Structure 1
């Protein structure tokens, strides 16, 4: 449904619909009510991107972030906001939490705020409901996703190859003789599933079956370090042992390290996201850097290209980098 469809159903000109959308006084009350009724019946959300262009743009970008208190999400939002501000755009931030219903609600909220485009930090598991929410939003404005994947028209993605990073790390650990590799994780977002896939592929390629996986999902909703510490202790209490640990987030790595250290267990530990948590641990934790600043720069460039009518790649994939510290050296 677009402005032409609305005009046809209401029996008015496209110019009249445009005037209604822009609250112009140059339209009769009768025509205004007719157009508004059709839009309400069809559930039409005005294409604010087009309106913004006609009004020299509202120069505002919506940022959708799952959990703003998360150090990694906060870093991404900070980079994005700074880059957009440098290019003359204001931002509106919506923190959605982990519930899909809230994501859909906040996408609608940002559209109602007349943003020129929406930039999302990460994406969920890519189920049909999430895809439908993004498709609806992308039908109105360009959408760019940082380190997430949504396959829909007018949606652009800047991604880190996290699956490849974990796969390479598992291969390196196995090459060094660590045959019992544990993987601790917390989310099943697109990013989380890619990391988990890399772990499983690495083991499978070495001939290690599903029964030799050591996987632990950590509940990090409240205090991630404490949760990881407690759940690591729980798995150790069962008699389970492992010779190396990969954690899907530095917070998980820190909590696990504390539990292992208390039992005088010293094994290679590798975290993810290269955050300050890894640097402040004792010993300092090696961590896979997902190059979030580079991803944000790429995402904002994709967005600017689209807004300015230049061709933009739909998918950009960059490599991660292992930052080596005391907990594991190649």
Structure 2
């Protein structure tokens, strides 16, 4: 069954059937209902790709994330997809990994599917080396690109950014004002990772101090158990701290396990602060104080703004989403 069969069965021209499929208003209600009834009776499903060619839109957005097994990214992608469905847009999702070449390959794949726009979820897509961001800049010459929790100053690239720098500056300064000895554990130097590090440096500067190199430790690919072992090794070497700040809640869980194994009371002997307010922060014992940077909100906002962009309306290139502290059992007086 094709459009020719529908036109013959409904007793109308092919052009009239095409107008109904494309939502053209220049068809009477009587004729429209007649054609739709024939389609329902025959079970006709229009060719979405062909329809998209006629309308110059596929009503489809390409969504990319580095790792769908990451609970924070997975949650953000879910909210992005649900919001797009509210606007009756379909989603093509690609999980790219962290290598630039793979990201570029998947982006080209999505562009070949004639998506109307691209949404990149997570800060790992924006590299410090601008040459590695060139594939995004080139893609933005074809369709709008929306970044969730990252920023790139380029034409037709828009951003909904979590204010990680300000939040990390705020909590670090409060610990320093309590005369605490801080150890910061982080996983990457993604856009968000760099913002968090800068926030810590800002706080030290605010307090007239300078962080030591061994106070900020990169824990790339570390598991919860790796984190526990690392802290135990440091402690065994005589290194001491009474605050562990982390770039994500999983690292904070490792710190809790270390404290328990060491016989340290949390938060009396050691305070621990996570980041992201993921579900794992309330699965830990004790439940972990954390920063909620409202990644899901940033994803939803990104979709709402993208819809405005697709309607050719003016949108700010960069929108900042403010975070907040979520105080539980691993901190005192923050």
Structure 2 unaligned blocks of 5 or more:
1-50
Instruction: Rate the CA distance shift 1:202–1:211 in 2: closer, same or farther, 3 A.
Output: same
Q: CA deviation at 1:54?
A: 5.4
Please say if 1:305 is aligned against 2:308: yes
Instruction: Rate the CA distance shift 1:140–1:326 in 2: closer, same or farther, 3 A.
Output: same
Match of 1:96 in 2: 96
Q: CA deviation at 1:194?
A: 0.4
Counterpart-to-counterpart distance in 1, 2:296 and 2:325: 15
Counterpart-to-counterpart distance in 2, 1:219 and 1:294: 27
Match of 2:190 in 1: 189
8 Å CA contact 1:57–1:116 kept in 2: the answer is yes
Match of 2:227 in 1: 228
Aligned to 1:81, what secondary structure does the other structure show? helix
Aligned to 2:119, what secondary structure does the other structure show? strand
8 Å CA contact 2:246–2:274 kept in 1: the answer is yes
Matches within 5 A, 1:1-330: 55-122=55-122, 123-178=125-180, 180-211=181-212, 214-220=215-221, 224-266=223-265, 267-329=270-332, 330=334
Q: CA RMSD in A?
A: 1.7
8 Å CA contact 2:127–2:133 kept in 1: the answer is no
Instruction: Rate the CA distance shift 1:210–1:59 in 2: closer, same or farther, 3 A.
Output: same
State the structure with more CA Rg. 2
Match of 1:36 in 2: none
Q: CA deviation at 1:52?
A: 5.2
Counterpart-to-counterpart distance in 1, 2:52 and 2:305: 18
TM-score, length-scaled by structure 2? 0.79
Instruction: Rate the CA distance shift 1:150–1:53 in 2: closer, same or farther, 3 A.
Output: farther
Counterpart-to-counterpart distance in 2, 1:177 and 1:212: 18
Structure 1 unaligned blocks of 5 or more:
1-50
TM-score, length-scaled by structure 1? 0.80
Count of residue pairs brought into register by the alignment:
277
The 4+ residue runs of structure 1 with deviation greater than 4 A are: 51-54
Match of 1:3 in 2: none
